[in-house]
A and B are shown apart, each in its own frame.
Chain A
């Protein structure tokens, strides 16, 4: 048995504890040590994640590098981990983003003169420890092959996230920023807690049904095998109820329209780094879990609800984009753009075609990278001027051309420009939806026009035109900030031109998922022979 997966999860977890326990104090040297330790831990985690990806064999078993430790024996709960192609892709995404988020938020937890009284001495330690804690929990969620273990970590990550949102703002809010922030944090917690509790009921319900039929286990591979071999038959009503229980939790976290309203608050009030953590990493657990748990455990119910879910995600695509167009706040605009993108991801999953689901998985990765680039540069911009309002900016490209240029690249990635990574995934989702649901696919295509509108309007209003007095003398990106953006831009280009490392990894897992729900791709009406073009 290899210990690679547990090590990948344990390193950030232990790192979080160590970081939190580092000597407190507000001195610059102390803070720097804390940051260096946390960053080193996240880089080590990235190394381990890379090792996971390197040892993963695309043609091999669905779950690889598996580990299992008995946990609660009487309920058949094992601490079981296993990497499949989809999970591995998201583990990589998480491991790549966390160091960059830390680097971007290097000074976000420094004591600011303005925030006096409630300034804790352990502020810096706390901030970086919380990020590592979130990373550890997210990694376990992507790797858990035990439903109960997944549930525990899915829920537990709310706690560090709550403190990250509520405790660390971007210092750009108005006079009642603290109040707004705590509102956002509580809203985040309540929504997700509610979803989680419903899911807990369903998790227990699933166990009860399985145990009744002699399958007293929470092990995901065992359960899906029993389901597909007919050893475990969940009757349709129960299956639908359980599906909805799971799906509700994931739809809140994803977030899917109309359960999305916590996201703009949470992303708007927190630091740019935390906002990236939310939308690019934590939310992905929701869509990932739809693909792995909802489809694998409740294939028939998934098919029953698919059309309804597709309609909701379609509404989300258009609605999110339209509301983004109407935003006055940069970070809330990015949040609504994400809501639109989550619509695409969920649509791809429930179209139940290989293009749709591979596209959705790639979408999770690509959205993570591109939104991180866009949001973090937005954060750099906001930190320079101390305002989130679009109207406070104008003409930035004249004074800070590199900042403006990278912000444009982030926007272009968000609007899925061909050649950049998000195009690959968005087109796959569209085509995968279209082959089964042509009308929905065509309507979703309007999303590409709307995306161009919000992305380019934001660029135009903030970066072009005459230089506003409020931005004169604004410094361009610093070396640290460039180090954050450069890898993201490079990845966006690389995965846009050569997405094969990802598709090779993801495709087999998607094919397996599709066979679990007994779905095959719709055949072309008049297929051309594979080499039809060559014989001429």
Chain B
């Protein structure tokens, strides 16, 4: 039996969901792999929704919204784009970025809806089952995706993504525009840092560990782990526990 991907779709109420309906009214046939969740706007789709879905073993997640400029809520889909990009970047740390997709489908594009869904099913089928699929999830990977999920919830990343459009496209509080490349560089650093920090926190969930242990476990530079540890300590998330021999152990608070 061939592999049948399990897919999830977040469709905006005003365009894509209506487009899907139109596909139905027009009796356009497409593969039955995708389950649809209706949202009022693609801007509602939290990065955590996508990550959580993957974490649970879903093979692929589709986000659809109105075409740029057509948003019922004026600019919701712009926000969706920013959030989706960030999610994709985060997932690229573990190679799952090709299992999510964003597309614009209008209420009149019933045919196109059928086409893009068919294409997504095909592409995911070609990729094969998610390494996190129910029966036998890759535990190592699962941990990393959990870290990504937590990172996507941090104030820092949410603040950056939330203000991204304002400060790169319009103007920041000083009336200046931050160049897109500059912002992306900053965002990329932040994404990597928060991801690594959440991995450290997860690794400390059960027992306390030293910087060196963590470095081996997470294949990170020990000096980098130490740096993150200090930041986490500043955020009151970890603390020194005890010093064994010459090696201090850290614990999660």
Question: Does A pair with B?
Answer: no
Which residues of A pack against B, CB within 8 Å? Answer: none
